[in-house]
């Protein structure tokens, strides 16, 4: 060793610190278990956040004590650069499909024949003919395999081909209903859990709404959205999209032993966290064990004592599944006895002891009468199939998207064709296939237009996109879409300015950009068809009132591609004025949490367009808000609320609760969690509950978000 080198001796970590870290992880794990699995929260959000931030602080100070199962490790600090292929410890078999009761009966017959061939004496005992089954709804998502070593999640993988899949561990950790550590004090050496990651319908709708607002292509169905989410390189996106997970299969292996399959017979205990694990002898026991270990299990499963009960279950859920908050496409039926499962074994492709009854996708034939094209506010030109109206999944369908010219070419769809349509994910109508044998003579292939059907300008197809676009900013279709977007509820919320009036505004030349709205007079409006004086006055007042909308709504209303209402909120928190955002570099914008390079490039490019600078100048002259009235980071604001105590309850229209709290505290006010006689004001949003009721009973002053902002600006 060089004489100039010195040995560095690390100071020992205090035992109290290690103990506190363990306490914090256990508290947060228990809170997550109660919240996500039991639907019975044990900690208020503020308390959870305090404990979580304490854990982050300690782990930052003592990084050597960070463990893989820590709640802070759910979302990776760095995006994954790639997905590597991994071999499954236990193969993931496909399931044989059944399409009706006849197939189920044949399946049971095969099971009985194999049993009686192996044990001929069973056929003479009527009692032995009875079989128990477990029915589980077949969730329409993506299968994943989870591996736990000594109780800690070490790997999550896609199904792949059943033998090998892709390692998506970091993304799996972002799914809150998947435990990072098994709920067991003395776990086995190796536990394999299989289940389905899926996207709840409300999350799917929200994602598509945000993608629509940002001018992005919509996901066709929740299954595709879930699969695409699992393969995101940024696990923060996975967390934001709120994937959920149901577990259904369990394999356990003790140290030095092979896998015991679903029928592991080890230590027996029914108590959570008492050092052992249930020894399931049936599939029904497996589901209860999974719950005990901390997993969500689909609550609609059933134990059936006969195939007739199975058939009744399948028939019932063929209807009731439409009321579920997630998509299902069938029922998985398994023999309940794990001993029988082991005896029956597998074919080359399927387990003999399980089958999937698939519900047929509701499809209907109809005739294609016309292929039209629609020009959206971003200039995207989308071909649309206009069909003879047909009843499908409870609604009458007459139009369906054909996505883009590549899809049209792939289908070779022509006017006059008989086509089969269905609702993708039972939501979006789509053309599934063309019945070419019914094609009438003389049809011609459809050709995408070379010029915009609205403005006659040439269309372009960027090399990196599948979408054909009109790039004429003055195109009436783009102007209409821009004005409708500007007036929409999440943007400027101009009451009364709907599609009907926007169409007249643009067609008559009254409005050629959103800035023209603020020059409209009552007299001009009264020249329009069916517009009376009172209606004109109301609309002019509503347009004027929109000038008070905050900077975040204005930014969203500008319709910058990829910038939805949530991204607009995030951007305006960081860039508190239009000047700050317009002069920001791509790297500066991309560095904002939740934004990323694609959005940053789109925002930066929008501000490079001289026409957009002219638009901003015109809107600024009208008096719109292009800066945040209050800087949440400014601690030197006037202490207008000194001595006042506030309680915030419910969901506010634009501010998050922590933002409202910061505004109050920066102005000298105090924010508490509970209402008492000492409370000065209660700020109430939508779905305010018991706190609002208590405030009313005590006669405490109530404020809306607008009232709070007015108070801060007084």
State the pLDDT confidence band at 77, using cuts at 50, 70 and 90.
Answer: very low
16 CB neighbour count, 10 Å cutoff:
8
Q: Which of 26, 35, 17 is nearest to 70 (CA)?
A: 26
What is the end-to-end Cα distance of the chain in Å, rounded?
A: 70
Q: Which of 451, 544, 458 is nearest to 494 (CA)?
A: 544
- Secondary structure (H, E, C), 148-180: EECCEEEEEEECCCCCEEEECHHHHCCCCCCCC
Mean local confidence (pLDDT), 510-514 = 93
Please write the tens of the pLDDT for every residue from 21-49. Answer: 888 888 888 877 775 555 466 666 556 66
State the pLDDT confidence band at 484, using cuts at 50, 70 and 90.
Answer: very high
Please write the tens of the pLDDT for every residue from 583-629. Answer: 999 998 988 766 778 889 989 999 998 889 999 999 999 999 898 86
Helix (H) / strand (E) containing 302: strand 302-304
Q: What residues are annotated to the active site?
A: 138
State the pLDDT confidence band at 267, using cuts at 50, 70 and 90.
Answer: very low
State the pLDDT confidence band at 369, using cuts at 50, 70 and 90.
Answer: very high
Residue 443 burial by Cβ neighbours in a 10 Å radius (0-12, 13-18, 19+): middle
Considering the entire predicted model, what is its pTM? 0.51
Residue of 406 and 128 predicted with greater confidence:
406
Please write the tens of the pLDDT for every residue from 205-240. Answer: 888 888 777 777 677 678 878 888 888 877 888 888
Is there a contact between 300 and 248 (Cβ–Cβ < 8 Å)? Answer: no
Please write the tens of the pLDDT for every residue from 155-174. Answer: 999 988 788 888 999 999 99
The mean predicted confidence, pLDDT, of the chain is 83
Strand 670-672 and strand 380-392: the pairing is: unpaired
pLDDT of residue 635: 41
Residue of 132 and 99 predicted with greater confidence:
132
Mean pLDDT is highest, among 70-74, 542-546, 572-576, for 542-546
Residue 355 has pLDDT above 90, yes or no: yes
509 CB neighbour count, 10 Å cutoff:
9
pLDDT of residue 361: 63
Q: Which residues lie below 8 Å from residue 317, measured CB to CB, with a gap of 6+?
A: 137, 300, 328, 331
Among 74-78, 112-116, 402-406, 499-503, the range scoring the smallest mean pLDDT is: 74-78
pLDDT of residue 96: 87
């Amino acid at each position: 060793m060089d004489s100039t080198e010195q040995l560095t001796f690390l100071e020992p970590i205090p035992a109290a610190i290690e103990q506190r870290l363990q306490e914090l992880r256990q508290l947060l794990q228990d809170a997550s278990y109660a919240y996500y699995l039991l639907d019975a929260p044990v900690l208020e959000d503020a308390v959870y956040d305090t404990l979580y931030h304490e854990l982050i602080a300690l782990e930052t100070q003592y990084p050597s004590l960070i463990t893989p199962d820590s709640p802070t490790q759910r979302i990776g600090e760095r995006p994954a650069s790639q997905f590597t292929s991994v071999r499954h410890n236990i193969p993931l078999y496909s399931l044989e499909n059944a399409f009706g009761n006849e197939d189920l009966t044949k399946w049971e017959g095969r099971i009985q024949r194999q049993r009686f061939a192996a044990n001929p004496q069973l056929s003479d005992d009527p009692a032995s003919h009875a079989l128990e089954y477990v029915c589980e709804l077949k969730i329409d998502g993506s299968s994943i395999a989870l591996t736990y070593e000594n109780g800690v999640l070490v790997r999550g993988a896609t199904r792949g081909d059943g033998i090998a899949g892709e390692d998506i561990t970091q993304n799996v950790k972002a799914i809150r209903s998947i435990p990072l550590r098994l709920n067991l004090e003395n776990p086995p050496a190796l536990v394999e859990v299989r289940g389905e990651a899926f996207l709840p319908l409300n999350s799917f709708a929200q994602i598509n709404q945000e993608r629509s607002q940002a001018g992005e292509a919509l996901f066709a169905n929740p299954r595709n959205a879930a699969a695409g989410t699992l393969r995101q390189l940024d696990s923060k996106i996975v967390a934001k999209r709120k994937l959920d997970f149901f577990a259904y299969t369990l394999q356990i292996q003790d140290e030095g032993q092979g896998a015991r399959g679903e029928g592991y017979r080890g230590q027996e205990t029914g108590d959570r966290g008492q050092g052992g694990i249930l020894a399931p002898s049936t599939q029904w026991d497996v589901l209860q064990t999974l719950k005990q270990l901390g997993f969500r299990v689909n609550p609609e499963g059933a134990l059936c004592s006969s195939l007739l009960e199975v058939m009744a279950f399948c028939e019932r859920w063929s209807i009731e599944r439409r009321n579920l908050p997630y998509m299902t496409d069938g029922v998985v039926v398994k023999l309940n006895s794990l001993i029988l499962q082991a005896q029956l074994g597998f074919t080359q492709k399927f387990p003999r002891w399980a089958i999937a009854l698939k519900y047929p996708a509701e499809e209907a034939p109809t005739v294609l009468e016309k292929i039209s094209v629609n020009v959206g506010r971003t200039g995207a030109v989308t071909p649309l199939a206009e069909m003879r109206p047909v009843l499908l999944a409870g609604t009458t369908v007459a139009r369906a998207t054909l996505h883009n010219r590549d899809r049209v070419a792939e289908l070779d769809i022509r006017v006059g064709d008989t086509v089969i349509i269905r609702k993708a994910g039972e939501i979006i109508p789509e053309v599934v296939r063309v019945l070419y044998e019914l094609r009438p003579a003389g049809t011609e292939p459809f050709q995408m237009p070379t010029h915009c059907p609205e403005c006659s300008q040439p269309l372009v197809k960027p090399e990196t996109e599948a979408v054909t676009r009109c790039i004429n900013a003055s195109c009436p279709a783009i102007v209409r879409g821009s004005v409708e977007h500007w007036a929409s509820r999440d943007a400027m919320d101009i009451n009364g300015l709907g599609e009907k009036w926007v169409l007249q505004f643009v067609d008559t030349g009254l409005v050629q950009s959103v800035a023209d709205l603020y020059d409209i007079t009552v007299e001009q409006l009264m020249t329009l068809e069916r517009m009376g004086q009172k209606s004109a006055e109301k609309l002019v007042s509503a347009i004027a009132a929109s000038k008070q909308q905050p900077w975040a709504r204005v930014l969203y209303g500008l319709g910058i591609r990829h910038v939805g209402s949530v991204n607009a909120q995030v951007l305006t928190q960081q860039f508190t004025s239009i000047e700050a955002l317009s002069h920001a570099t791509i790297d500066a914008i991309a560095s904002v949490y939740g934004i990323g390079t694609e959005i940053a490039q789109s925002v930066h490019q929008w501000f490079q367009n001289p026409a957009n600078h002219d638009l901003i100048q015109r809107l600024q002259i009208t008096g719109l808000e292009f800066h945040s009235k209050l800087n949440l980071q400014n601690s030197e604001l006037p202490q207008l609320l000194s001595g006042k105590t506030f309680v915030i309850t419910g969901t506010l229209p634009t501010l998050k609760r922590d933002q409202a709290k910061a505004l109050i505290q920066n102005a000298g006010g105090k924010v508490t969690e509970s209402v008492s006689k000492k409370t000065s004001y209660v700020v109430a949003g939508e779905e305010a509950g018991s706190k609002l009721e208590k405030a009313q009973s005590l006669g405490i002053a109530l404020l809306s978000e607008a009232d709070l902002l007015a108070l801060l600006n007084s």
